[in-house]
Amino acid sequence: MTTGTLPVPPEKPSSRITFRRILLGSPLATNEMPQQTVGKLVGLAVFASDALSSTAYATDEILFVLAVAGTAFFSLSIPISLAIAALLLVLTISYRQTIFAYPNGGGAYIVARDNLGELAGQTAGAALLTDYILTVSVSVASGVAQIASAFPTLWPWRVELSVGLILAMMLVNLRGTRESGKIFAVPTYFFLILMLVMLAMGFFQVLSGRLPTVSGVQSEVTGGAGLTLFLLLRAFASGSVAVTGTEAISNGIQAFSEPKSRNAAATMAWMSTLLGVMFVGTTILAYRAHALPAETETIISQLARTIYGPGPLHVLTLAATTIILVMAANTSFADFPRLAALHAADGFLPRQLTYKGSRLVFSWGIVFLAFISSLLVVLFRARVTALIPLYAIGVFLSFTMSQLGMVVRWTKIGRLRPEEVLETKASRLHYNPQWRRKRAVNAVGAVVTCVVMLVQAVTKFIAGAWIVVILIPAMVWTFFRIHHHYQMVRRFLSIEGTKHLGGPMPIIHIVLISGVHAAALRQINFVQSLGVKWSAVYVAIDEDRAADVRHKWDQFFPHEQLTILPSPFRDLVGPVRQYVEQLRTAHPDAYIHVVVSQILMDHYLEQALHQNATVIFKLALQHIRQVVVTDVAYPLHLSGLPVLPTAPPGQPAES
Amino acid sequence: MTTGTLPVPPEKPSSRITFRRILLGSPLATNEMPQQTVGKLVGLAVFASDALSSTAYATDEILFVLAVAGTAFFSLSIPISLAIAALLLVLTISYRQTIFAYPNGGGAYIVARDNLGELAGQTAGAALLTDYILTVSVSVASGVAQIASAFPTLWPWRVELSVGLILAMMLVNLRGTRESGKIFAVPTYFFLILMLVMLAMGFFQVLSGRLPTVSGVQSEVTGGAGLTLFLLLRAFASGSVAVTGTEAISNGIQAFSEPKSRNAAATMAWMSTLLGVMFVGTTILAYRAHALPAETETIISQLARTIYGPGPLHVLTLAATTIILVMAANTSFADFPRLAALHAADGFLPRQLTYKGSRLVFSWGIVFLAFISSLLVVLFRARVTALIPLYAIGVFLSFTMSQLGMVVRWTKIGRLRPEEVLETKASRLHYNPQWRRKRAVNAVGAVVTCVVMLVQAVTKFIAGAWIVVILIPAMVWTFFRIHHHYQMVRRFLSIEGTKHLGGPMPIIHIVLISGVHAAALRQINFVQSLGVKWSAVYVAIDEDRAADVRHKWDQFFPHEQLTILPSPFRDLVGPVRQYVEQLRTAHPDAYIHVVVSQILMDHYLEQALHQNATVIFKLALQHIRQVVVTDVAYPLHLSGLPVLPTAPPGQPAES
């Protein structure tokens, strides 16, 4: 056995400063992955932005739906918000159990796959991926709507601003952030404080009877349709976007410092409390201040303007809201590529998605997310209300799958003998005497989230939910197709058990020339260096040029064969393909080795002036069995001296 | 000398019906090029659409400019239109001489290049190419404006309609038209008759004092700026777009039946007369009927509606106008690619532009024209008035260059002795005793068109003409850069006078594997079949996988060398490039032959699931001197049986 040594030291990235490097930063080695952990205070900042930011639009969306019935029914927004707060409570309690069960991270994909199998796992994953995309679109659109509430001149540019923000986030994330943790704390707490102060001032004004009425809102409220149960449920469904993002902590337990699960659970409790208070508080104040849902001014803006009066505090509140919304979108830029990479690593998405770029981030996933969410923003003209019907169905489906997975898990635990330990792919099961009670908690969670998901799908179906209802099963189907493909390829490529590796076969060498020039000499020199028998082939598109080639050939290579293939249809490729196929038929047990040449320029603009016949030939020939294509590149440095086709024998070539 | 026979009959295009074939038609052989000629009546129809169609917007544009001064100055549109008619007369007389001097076709590119040299020729060509693009944009935008005048509901869709029309024309032209001639006659004469009838009825109404006043036009007329000389000149410049397209016949003399020049000249005289009558007539009637320039209704629509009354004749006139405008745009689809191919054949534009597609049309030029003119339509929101400042400068520059060329030609003729004949590239010069008078005619033409061009460039500079003023010199500069490039490449590739062709050089064979699997076995079988010494190389992105590869390698190839290159930055290409460069340094006089493999799927969707490492490697290695890359394709037909890596010796491989 001959084993190669490692003569090559690992290549260090060059220190050359390129545009790419300025934009994306220097490459990081694999072992530079960050291992830092965070406490509860920073953890809240890191994981809460997605959940907390939904207060920026959830109340608006309830009012938009109720407005169809009429402003007289706006009082219903308060019980609806309380119902959503109750839903949040159920979710928090049942996810608390997931956090303790999966201390290494219990995202819906992992929990569903671990307990319910592949189909459930892929479904939960597809649902979450859909929702991550919408989180970006909705959060950015809402963020821009907040700024535009303060500066109405920006309103006509909302689509451009949204897409610009998404692209900026894409670049930041392609760079990767090593300093993720603490940088998130400042804006999150800034937002929290401004919101809580506003709510406190507002409630003080309510109690002292001095809360002003919102004025000057150009609302599109139509009203008069009358209240129906359907409308009431739809208002609830639209408002339930408030709870999106609460699952974030269960994905990131690993990021907390020890005791991980306990810290994560405590953080989740705090987050839910804050979210509930802010959401219900905003909704009550909006009702008391007679706020009106409007595309041109958000409820938060109306409240801040009314409570603080127009001025810096109003603008500051909106700035903080915009920032937290952008941060919420940004969490999707971390979560989406990571989840997609999980799918890809398991063979359910293209393998390229597992590729960590030079900055240790999943580059393809980031670019894809930016593209799709931008597309949605453009298609829906950056209107939050238009995007909402698509949103939250995915996350509620993943809630349901995850809770259902937990129910199955508790059932398994109940079957264990005490002291017995069961290892699954992603967790370890011990007997727990409280399994019945805990299973009941998760069962309630599963039923409640399932009902909410169904309400969402039905009440928002026509308004856009149908897209998601079709999309998620289509994604799952595609995932399984991809998985099947990779399994087939692995099976077909496997040489396990192969005994006979096959002996050498004859090779027919053909040199495909585009003229008798220096590049052709190089091609011919290469086959001559191989020391094999060969012949040349030329395609005659133009008869005069063909005659000239024949003449020069006879002058330079009087003893070698040149076949000129006629091409009356000016087709470069067809005659070659036909010729090669004839050779294949005549010599079925031989390789056909086609040697082509490519003239290479220093600059791609120069290259564009030359037809890339090599690529055309390769595409045409590669599917013919046993055809091997060799590309003899001929670099032409027009700024320097002509490159000599070959070095004279015994003398080294200039380099 | 061994000369190859031609064992391959010319490949006939398959009769398989593909989407491409339905859209673009079956391929045509080179000798299927049409040779038909046309008489004066059909010739007028073929070549006049571009010129005649400008009456659809020229009057509008004069009025738009005068409207800035105020509707009180609209009477000035009549002297302006008469001045433009005089310009048309000058042009017609001087172009008549060109037609007789260049019976094989006397486009500005040819005449300027033949008499004034390369720079003048390229300048005239660049100017014409610019204007062909604008002819498409302006004509299509105006055509859509005509339809939208009849059906105002179409107005919001004008950009989409225009782009759709351009794309449809692109497809028709990629198909190519063999039946070009007579098909053009019907709509041209349809338009002529409808216009002349309308003008006749209108003038009858004027004379009998019964011409109604145009009503119900929503005009954007502002007025009140007062009349200045600048405004007057600008109105003239805007209206002079009426004469664009008059040069068309001089390009197409070859298409006429004998006596070619005489027929062409007579047709040109007819065309100019019709154009002058229609343009001046429309302008006078527009003034008498108090028509108002408006983006939402063209002058032709206002006149037809007022003269005929609303109804089928109004709509019919607009339909005919739209059709002639589309035909005008369509002539650019023939002229632009043909002129671009002339430039390309002379080496001033990329060679690919000379490529005649399977339907004998210059495919690249057609696609490029469609793309650029669509872009202009989108950028200028399909507003004719916004596009006009860019239009006509190019064509007047080419008029000037062409006439100047004729002046030089007459001077040369004046220097000849009687009976003496001078051959230039594109024409034959005989002594002509009337050379002084004829030179004077062309000189007047040159001066007049030059003055008009300068007036256009100055008065419309800020409104958009600056784009063209910058663009044309930039194009000429680029043309010469491209020419220089091709000359350099030809010089560098030439082996004229080469004596020593170089002897064989050593080759180092490297097999780059991505694992120990069937595709790698195929690579190895190929080098083993070459009968050379080789070694394998593997890049270790993941250490566990690398260990597995090493293990399998030792199992299958215990006697062959495998070098594993570490890649701490997860870079597939860097370590290989570094390794190859080290080999190059150690063996400067050898080829480095890198054998890569590509797994080929039947379907491009399947292919997308696999990283195309071959392309990545080639791009990274091709610029290293004396590196030759061989691609051993491994087709994987997942629907069939696994492809055996090699045939057992002595037994033919299954095909």
pLDDT at B238 > cutoff 50? yes
B461 lies in the same domain as B518: no
- The predicted model gives A582-603 an average pLDDT of 88
B:175-194 residues touching chain A, CB 8 A cutoff = none
Task: Tell me the chain A residues in contact with residue B628 when contact means C-beta distances shorter than 8 Å.
Answer: 526, 630-633
Q: Looking at residue B58, what is its pLDDT? A: 93
What tokens were used for A27?
């490459």
Flag whether residue B560 sits within 8 Å of chain A, measured between CB atoms: yes
Asked if B27's CB is within 8 angstroms of A358's CB, the reply is no
Flag whether residue A604 sits within 8 Å of chain B, measured between CB atoms: no
Flag whether residue A434 sits within 8 Å of chain B, measured between CB atoms: no
Do residues A400 and A450 touch, judged by C-beta distance below 8 A?
yes
pLDDT at A446 > cutoff 50? yes
Among A488, A529, A548, the residue to mutate for chain B (most B Cβ within 10 A): A529
B435 lies in the same domain as B376: yes
Instruction: Report pLDDT digits (tens) over A303-320.
Output: 999 998 888 889 899 999
What tokens were used for B366?
């057609």
Do residues A457 and A471 touch, judged by C-beta distance below 8 A?
no
Helix, strand, coil percentages, rounded to 5, for chain A: 65, 10, 30
- The predicted model gives A629-653 an average pLDDT of 58
Three-state DSSP class for B553?
A: helix
B530 within some domain: yes
Q: Looking at residue A647, what is its pLDDT? A: 36
B493 within some domain: no
Q: Measured between alpha carbons, how far is B614 from B632 in angstroms, rounded to an integer?
A: 10
For A571: left if phi > 0, alpha if psi spans -120 to 50, otherwise beta; the answer is beta
Do residues A468 and A110 touch, judged by C-beta distance below 8 A?
no
Write phi, then psi, for B12 (nearest 5 degrees).
Answer: -85, 140
Instruction: Report pLDDT digits (tens) over B540-596.
Output: 888 888 999 999 999 889 889 999 998 876 677 888 889 999 999 999 989 999 999
B330 within some domain: yes
How many CB atoms are closer than 10 A to CB B486? 18
A226 lies in the same domain as A170: yes
**CATH number of the domain encompassing residue B406:** 1.20.1740.10
Flag whether residue B610 sits within 8 Å of chain A, measured between CB atoms: yes
Q: What is the DSSP letter of A391?
A: S
Taking alpha carbons only, the member of A506, A558, A505 closest to residue A536 is A558
Three-state DSSP class for B284?
A: helix
Asked if A569's CB is within 8 angstroms of B636's CB, the reply is no
Q: Measured between alpha carbons, how far is A617 from A572 in angstroms, rounded to an integer?
A: 8
Q: What is the mean pLDDT of chain B?
A: 84
What tokens were used for B429?
């010069």
Which residues is B423 bridged to in the sheet? B428
Flag whether residue B27 sits within 8 Å of chain A, measured between CB atoms: yes
Instruction: Report pLDDT digits (tens) over B431-445.
Output: 888 889 999 999 998
Cα-only R_g, chain B? 33
Non-local CB neighbours of B472 within 8 Å, separated by 6+ positions: B123, B126, B127, B130, B394, B397
B11 within some domain: no
Instruction: Report pLDDT digits (tens) over B362-392.
Output: 778 888 999 999 999 988 888 888 898 888 8
- The position carrying tokens 């999980």 is A342
- The position carrying tokens 């000599």 is A644
A427 lies in the same domain as A538: no
Q: Measured between alpha carbons, how far is A441 from A455 in angstroms, rounded to an integer?
A: 21
Q: Which helix (H) or strand (E) holds A208?
A: none
pLDDT band at A379 (very low <50, low <70, confident <90, very high): confident
Do residues A246 and A95 touch, judged by C-beta distance below 8 A?
yes
Q: Measured between alpha carbons, how far is B294 from B287 in angstroms, rounded to an integer?
A: 14
Q: How far is CA B542 from CA A349, B517, B545, B567, in A?
A: 19, 17, 6, 8
Q: What is the DSSP letter of B55?
A: G
What tokens were used for B279?
């343009």
- The position carrying tokens 């409207």 is B67
Counting one residue from chain A and one from chain B, the pairs whose CB atoms sit within 8 A come to 330
Q: Measured between alpha carbons, how far is B410 from B419 in angstroms, rounded to an integer?
A: 16
Q: Are strands A627-636 and B627-636 parallel, antiparallel or unpaired?
A: antiparallel
Question: Alpha carbon A336 to chain centroid distance?
Answer: 5
Do the interacting molecules here have an ipTM over 0.85? no
pLDDT at A396 > cutoff 80? yes
Do residues A479 and A126 touch, judged by C-beta distance below 8 A?
yes
Task: Tell me the chain A residues in contact with residue B361 when contact means C-beta distances shorter than 8 Å.
Answer: none
What tokens were used for A213?
């009425």
**Percent of chain A whose predicted confidence (pLDDT) is above 70:** 89
- The predicted model gives B510-528 an average pLDDT of 91
B252 within some domain: yes
Three-state DSSP class for A332?
A: helix
A472 lies in the same domain as A601: no
User: In chain B, how many domains are there?
Assistant: 2
Among B16, B571, B581, B626, the residue to mutate for chain A (most A Cβ within 10 A): B626
Question: Alpha carbon B52 to chain centroid distance?
Answer: 22
A402 lies in the same domain as A469: yes
B331 lies in the same domain as B234: yes
Asked if B629's CB is within 8 angstroms of A563's CB, the reply is no
Q: What is the pTM of this model?
A: 0.70
A275 lies in the same domain as A307: yes
Q: Measured between alpha carbons, how far is B655 from B643 in angstroms, rounded to an integer?
A: 9
Q: B109 lies in which domain range?
A: 37-487
Non-local CB neighbours of B622 within 8 Å, separated by 6+ positions: A598, A600, A631, A633, A635, B629
What tokens were used for B179?
């039946």
Do residues A123 and A472 touch, judged by C-beta distance below 8 A?
yes
Q: What is the DSSP letter of A3?
A: B
Flag whether residue A525 sits within 8 Å of chain B, measured between CB atoms: yes
B386 lies in the same domain as B513: no
pLDDT band at A136 (very low <50, low <70, confident <90, very high): very high
| Burial of B22: CB neighbours in 10 Å, binned 0-12, 13-18, 19+ | exposed
Instruction: Report pLDDT digits (tens) over B277-305.
Output: 999 999 999 999 999 998 889 999 999 99
B645 within some domain: no
Q: How far is CA B146 from CA B166, B281, B316, in A?
A: 16, 19, 11
Q: Which helix (H) or strand (E) holds A252?
A: none
What tokens were used for B9?
């009959």
A290 lies in the same domain as A196: yes
Instruction: Report pLDDT digits (tens) over A537-571.
Output: 999 888 888 999 999 999 889 889 999 999 877 67
- The position carrying tokens 């689809």 is B333
Non-local CB neighbours of A549 within 8 Å, separated by 6+ positions: A513, A515, A516, A538, A562, A564
A144 within some domain: yes
Instruction: Report pLDDT digits (tens) over B606-631.
Output: 777 777 677 777 777 877 888 999 98
**CATH number of the domain encompassing residue B516:** 3.40.50
- The position carrying tokens 């050898």 is B590
Q: Measured between alpha carbons, how far is B624 from B620 in angstroms, rounded to an integer?
A: 8
pLDDT band at B477 (very low <50, low <70, confident <90, very high): very high
Task: Tell me the chain B residues in contact with residue A345 when contact means C-beta distances shorter than 8 Å.
Answer: none
Q: How far is CA B331 from CA B91, B168, B431, in A?
A: 20, 14, 36
Roughly how many angstroms between the first and final C-alpha of chain A, as a whole number? 35
pLDDT at A35 > cutoff 70? no
Task: Tell me the chain A residues in contact with residue B15 when contact means C-beta distances shorter than 8 Å.
Answer: none
B:289-328 residues touching chain A, CB 8 A cutoff = none
Tell me the shortest Cα–Cα distance from A556 to chain B, in angstroms: 9
B403 lies in the same domain as B540: no
Flag whether residue B578 sits within 8 Å of chain A, measured between CB atoms: yes
Flag whether residue A358 sits within 8 Å of chain B, measured between CB atoms: yes
Which residues is B629 bridged to in the sheet? A631, B594
Q: Measured between alpha carbons, how far is A437 from B103 in angstroms, rounded to an integer?
A: 100
Q: Looking at residue B19, what is its pLDDT? A: 54
Non-local CB neighbours of A650 within 8 Å, separated by 6+ positions: none
Task: Tell me the chain A residues in contact with residue B556 when contact means C-beta distances shorter than 8 Å.
Answer: 495, 498, 501
Task: Tell me the chain A residues in contact with residue B623 when contact means C-beta distances shorter than 8 Å.
Answer: 600, 633, 635
Tell me the shortest Cα–Cα distance from B479 to chain A, in angstroms: 12
Q: Quick one: CA dihedral A277, A280, A282, A288, positive or negative?
A: negative
A571 within some domain: yes
Q: Measured between alpha carbons, how far is A485 from B356 in angstroms, rounded to an integer?
A: 40
Taking alpha carbons only, the member of A86, A83, A114, A118 closest to residue A98 is A114
B181 lies in the same domain as B279: yes
What tokens were used for A168?
């900026």
Flag whether residue A623 sits within 8 Å of chain B, measured between CB atoms: yes
